[in-house]
Structure 1
Amino acid sequence: MSRIKPARLRQLVFGFYMSGMMSLLMSGVITFINTGMDSAFLYRWIPAFLVAWAVAFPLVTFIAPVAVKLTEMTLGSRLKDSNVP
């Protein structure tokens, strides 16, 4: 039996996918803006993506709960008062 709580596992898997997708897209856009598109683009983009993902995954894992709390603080009373499920 796993000792990781389902909510924590969900948070880690979400962080893995979200950080991967955002790192892929952002590193691609920034690499394109900085160096343009040529035959070596992928050779520059892949290392940039790997570095970005290595930084983004732990950050997303630790920052996501803070973002959730800030969202609840910002919209909490509005969400409780609305009829939106």
Structure 2
Amino acid sequence: MPARFAPVLFGFILSALMSLLVSGIATLRNAGFVDDFLSIWVGAWLPSWLIAFPVVLVVAPIARRLVGLLVKAPAARAN
């Protein structure tokens, strides 16, 4: 895959993992370890991921800019 797709692939993977984790915790807290826990979890995760992926693509550049404002740039090294 060409490097130009790295930000989109990063967003894809990040949104998948984060929505999987958050929906799993929310499902566990609401339903407990019931017999069909996995199907309930997947049913909650897939719609969450469909929302999370485009949101990450929009929000990530904003977050990067905010981080850039909050941290100092490394000092240039003299050779």
Q: Same fold per TM (> 0.5)? A: yes
Aligned residue among 30, 33, 46 for 1:34:
30
Deviations 1:14-68 (A, max 9, x none): 0000000011111001100111011011121001000110000000011000000
Aligned residue among 3, 10, 23 for 2:6:
10
Q: Which runs of 5+ in 1 are unaligned?
A: none
Equivalent-residue separation in structure 2 for 1:28 and 1:36 (angstroms):
10
RMSD: 2.0
Identical-pair percentage? 36
Q: Which runs of 5+ in 2 are unaligned?
A: none
Match of 1:66 in 2: 62
Match of 1:23 in 2: 19
- TM-score, length of structure 2 as denominator length: 0.86
Match of 1:45 in 2: 41
